Amino acid sequence: MAKRRFERIDRKLLVNYDHFNFDNLKDDEGLARTLDMSVRGLLLQLPRPVEPGSTLRLSLSLGDDVVEAFGEVRRCEQDDDGLYEAGIELRYVPEKFIRTVESFFADQGDGGAE
């Protein structure tokens, strides 16, 4: 397995998501929870499965800021609770997202998300 280039922070945060199918049409939306995250990827727990290769638009509230990013679903598996864990590789990551995530985790005492 390849080594991650960015530190992952074990933090539970709520995330609003929009799911886009392979025709790039929005076909679902919902609320997920982060299991861990970095500025380049997240592990989400979702109520429904999402297809690897599909796209999610993610909105996170971090302190006073709301940041958005787009990611590609890399894997999705059902967990022991009957929910779904999806590994998301962030693809479109605005500079504001990176700055806000790094600042939020530094302020929380988690050492930042490198």
The string of pLDDT tens digits covering residues 44-98 is 999 999 999 999 999 988 778 888 999 999 999 999 999 999 999 999 888 888 8
Q: Is the pLDDT of residue 105 over 80?
A: no
Range of the domain at 45: 14-107
Does 41 fall in a domain? yes
Indicate whether 49 belongs to any domain: yes
Q: Report how many domains make up the chain.
A: 1
Let me know if residue 70 belongs to a domain. yes
The residue among 32 and 8 whose pLDDT is bigger is: 32
pTM here?
Answer: 0.79
Let me know if 8 is exposed, middle or buried by CB neighbors in 10 A (0-12, 13-18, 19+).
middle
- Contact predicate 48/55, CB 8 Å: no
Note whether residue 8 is domain-resident.
Answer: no
What CATH number corresponds to the domain at position 36? 2.40.10.220
